[in-house]
Amino acid sequence: MLTYSLYDTVFYFLLYGFLGWVVEVCYYSIRDRRFVNRGFLSLPLQEPCGFSYTLLILIMPSLGKRFVIQFIAAATVFAVVDSLAGVFTHRLSRLSRMETETAFTGTRKNWLEMVVRAAIFLLVYHIVHPIFLTGVSLLPAWLEHVVVWAGMVLLAIDLISTLYATRSPLGAVSEEITRSRTQKLANRITGHIWERLERAYPGIRETGAGDADGASDAAGRQIIFAKGLCLDKIIWIFLICALLGDIIETFYCGLVNGQWMNRSSVLYGPFSFVWGIGAVVLTVALRQMMDKSDRYIFVGGFVIGGTYEYMCSVFTELVFGTVFWDYSDMPLNIGGRTNVLFCFFWGILAVVWVKILYPPLSRQIEKIPPLAGKIVTWILVFLMVCNGLLTAGAMVRYDTRQDRPEASGMVEEFIDEQYDDAFMEARWPNMIGVE
């Protein structure tokens, strides 16, 4: 079973406490359009969040792969820790000069929010936490120890100064200085976010740019999310087509071949990267041909789609040592990686995509509220990148586990517990290992 040392435990407490503080500061600052310090004390830490996450990552391995039990445990831990933190903060706020509305008030006791936070934790634990495990394992031991000791010393000073401030005017001044420094850090974080949003959508801060019907800047110009073929639209095309492609391929294999199996490219979620990237490739490559005759688009899709499918097969074999499809038994196949029939399908798909599907989909994406769209886009990107990296790690470990069953290090222990051979073979029954 995966175990954490004392230093690892404290390090994750500080890490998740800081990340929780950053997320809440950004969320409330964007929502209220002003700085809101969500720190529990004066440091940029959400101690209840750090404590809850650390406690949960310690007990999750003992719950196995029972996701319902994990979800219930997470919701319960959040509710209990929030209640205890609320009692502590309430008693502290009676004495402290801290503004209670900017501190953690322990009011988040409704179970709907506990459910949301438990769901977020499961996403973080299964998708993001393995990436953190890899990063922490690469840190020199001395650096981890320095961070832990420095963090705990600062946390002790913060608590003592807060308590001292309740009894001494000088303590109140010291507390105000500490809180002022925390506010400067938060202002830098939220200011950086608004700066990036302003570059993407000039005037978004001064407008109600989160309204569903669109918004206008100070000059009266309408702010449109993902206008034209930009990075945001490419991301949404990838995500939508990866989802729809997985669903279509699953039903196609089930109805035509009588084999109902997972066609996803990643460990979590029904997303086929082959379809998502393929849609992006067709969009970028054929966007100049949207006004051309269908036969030109068909030929372009035939060549580009066939080449793309062939290269995907080569990539997975070289990188992961596995083959996910093999057309060697089909006529007119090209090295078993693609065939003329499927190239023909790619040509038809290109015509349908360019002429019928892409234009209305593009218009619907542009109707997303700019501010909400920008935030959701990069949250999804972060989760999908972590999902992809974790999937790659699990596949590589599946390949190396055949020759080296014993795990080497905390990361491999985590992968072996969560994604053993039985899990991987059930997830991708068509996966074939190659030398």
Across 131-135, 362-366, 403-407, 420-424, which has the greatest mean pLDDT? Answer: 362-366
- Indicate whether 423 pLDDT > 80: yes
If we measure between CA atoms, which residue out of 104, 88, 4 comes closest to residue 45? 104
**In angstroms, how far is the first alpha carbon of the chain from the final one?**
31
Tell me what pLDDT residue 320 has. Answer: 63
Tell me what pLDDT residue 169 has. Answer: 52
Do residues 82 and 116 touch, judged by C-beta distance below 8 A? Answer: no
Helices and strands (H, E) in the chain, number of each type: 15, 6
285 or 165, which is more confident: 285
Distance CA 345, CA 260 (A): 21
Q: In this structure, what token pair is assigned to residue 295?
A: 């036969």
Tell me what pLDDT residue 187 has. Answer: 64
Residue 432, classed as helix, strand or coil, is strand
State the DSSP H helix or E strand holding residue 178, giving kind and residue range, or none if neither: helix 169-200
Distance CA 197, CA 140 (A): 36
Q: Can you say how many angstroms the Cα of residue 50 is from the centroid of all Cα atoms in its chain?
A: 18
Tell me what pLDDT residue 102 has. Answer: 41
- Indicate whether 100 pLDDT > 50: no
pLDDT digits (tens, 9 = 90+) for 336-358: 777 787 788 888 888 888 888 88
Do residues 40 and 74 touch, judged by C-beta distance below 8 A? Answer: no
Tell me what pLDDT residue 246 has. Answer: 87
Do residues 387 and 124 touch, judged by C-beta distance below 8 A? Answer: no
Which range among 59-73, 142-156, 322-336 shows the weakest confidence by mean pLDDT?
322-336
Task: Name the average pLDDT for the chain.
Answer: 77
pLDDT digits (tens, 9 = 90+) for 186-214: 666 666 666 666 665 555 555 544 444 44
If we measure between CA atoms, which residue out of 66, 53, 1 comes closest to residue 23? 53
Identify each DSSP E strand in 28-74 by its residue range.
Answer: none
Identify each DSSP E strand in 273-431 by its residue range.
Answer: 322-323, 333-334, 338-339
Tell me what pLDDT residue 237 has. Answer: 93
Query: Predicted confidence band at 221 (pLDDT cuts at 50, 70, 90)?
Result: low
Burial letters 34-48, b for 16+ CB under 10 A, else e: ebbbbbbbbbbbbbb
Alpha carbons within 13 angstroms on the beta-carbon side of residue 286 total 33
Q: Can you say how many angstroms the Cα of residue 192 is from the centroid of all Cα atoms in its chain?
A: 20
Query: Predicted confidence band at 44 (pLDDT cuts at 50, 70, 90)?
Result: confident
As a whole-number percent, the residues of the chain with pLDDT over 90 amount to 9
Query: Predicted confidence band at 432 (pLDDT cuts at 50, 70, 90)?
Result: low
- Indicate whether 232 pLDDT > 70: yes
State the DSSP H helix or E strand holding residue 214, giving kind and residue range, or none if neither: none
Tell me what pLDDT residue 105 has. Answer: 41
Do residues 41 and 93 touch, judged by C-beta distance below 8 A? Answer: no
